[in-house]
């Protein structure tokens, strides 16, 4: 009989597994956490604000929660001190830092790398052997990595591209653990609204006309891509673009 294990549903593969999600209190992270829980996973979410993180964990029935500023290496150790074995690590925390070269505080630019690149390094080093031998690790970059603009996104684009490169390198260094990255485009999340402010509606209307998909993506759609990366044991070193075709537009 042919081996049909590849067809096993994600729910069967995630059932009973410990999923640790940084940035799991809103947007894509929360959508991922909810889907992982629905698939039978034991879910721990990490957020920057203790009250908000506890509220999200309670409201959605997650197994545990932690609070930490991921840009602060000294906060990561205590937050993870009592965490046991992690089967799937998802690193989605980070703000959308925009600023032009000459007008933006260097400390803010550094935070773009601290939240994405160095936070990943500190978290992985802190977990160490608590990452299961067959664990998956999922990073997040962003469409700016491939489509930087002249509107203050050069630094965040560079940080995002660095994450993708880190993922490909660690897929080899940490093997057989799997390391992948999702690169979201315009996803309808609170972060997008915060970044665009009052200009959100006009920006979104113009964007919809450009995108082959003709609309913004949803947090659930992006979360589903992460669930796929967790559950597909042959995916590693990859970057999945989930951007409605934005990478194709001129």
pLDDT at 7: 53
Q: pTM of the full predicted structure?
A: 0.91
Q: What is the largest CA-CA distance in the chain?
A: 65
Structure tokens at 157: 């684009």
- Domains along the chain? 5-242 (3.40.50.720)
pLDDT at 1: 41
* CA atoms 69, 75, 80, 86: torsion sign: positive
pLDDT at 173: 98
State the 10-residue block means of pLDDT for the chain, 250 residues long.
Answer: 52 90 95 97 97 97 96 95 97 86 91 94 97 98 86 90 97 98 89 68 81 92 97 97 89
CA distance 246 to 149: 13
């Amino acid at each position: 009989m042919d081996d049909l294990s590849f067809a096993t549903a994600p729910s069967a593969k995630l059932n009973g597994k410990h999923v640790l999600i940084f940035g799991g209190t809103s947007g894509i992270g929360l959508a991922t956490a909810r889907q992982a829980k629905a698939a039978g996973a034991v879910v721990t979410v990490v957020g920057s604000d203790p009250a908000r993180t506890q509220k999200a964990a309670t409201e959605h029935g997650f197994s545990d929660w932690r609070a930490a500023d991921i840009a602060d290496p000294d906060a990561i150790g205590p937050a993870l001190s009592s965490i046991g074995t992690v089967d799937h690590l998802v690193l989605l925390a980070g703000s959308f830092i925009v600023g032009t070269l000459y007008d933006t505080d260097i400390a803010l630019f550094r935070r773009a790398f601290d939240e994405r690149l160095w936070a990943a390094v500190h978290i992985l080093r802190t977990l160490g052997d608590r990452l299961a031998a067959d664990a998956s690790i999922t990073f997040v970059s962003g469409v700016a990595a491939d489509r930087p603009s002249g509107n203050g996104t050069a630094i965040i684009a560079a940080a995002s591209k660095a994450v993708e490169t880190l993922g490909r390198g660690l897929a080899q260094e940490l093997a057989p653990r799997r390391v992948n990255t999702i690169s979201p485009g315009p996803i309808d999340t609170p972060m997008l609204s915060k970044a665009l402010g009052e200009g959100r509606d006009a920006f979104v209307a113009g964007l919809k006309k450009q995108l082959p998909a003709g609309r913004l993506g949803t947090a659930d759609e992006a979360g589903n891509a992460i669930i796929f990366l967790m559950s597909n044991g042959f995916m590693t070193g990859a970057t999945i673009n989930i951007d409605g075709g934005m990478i194709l537009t001129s």
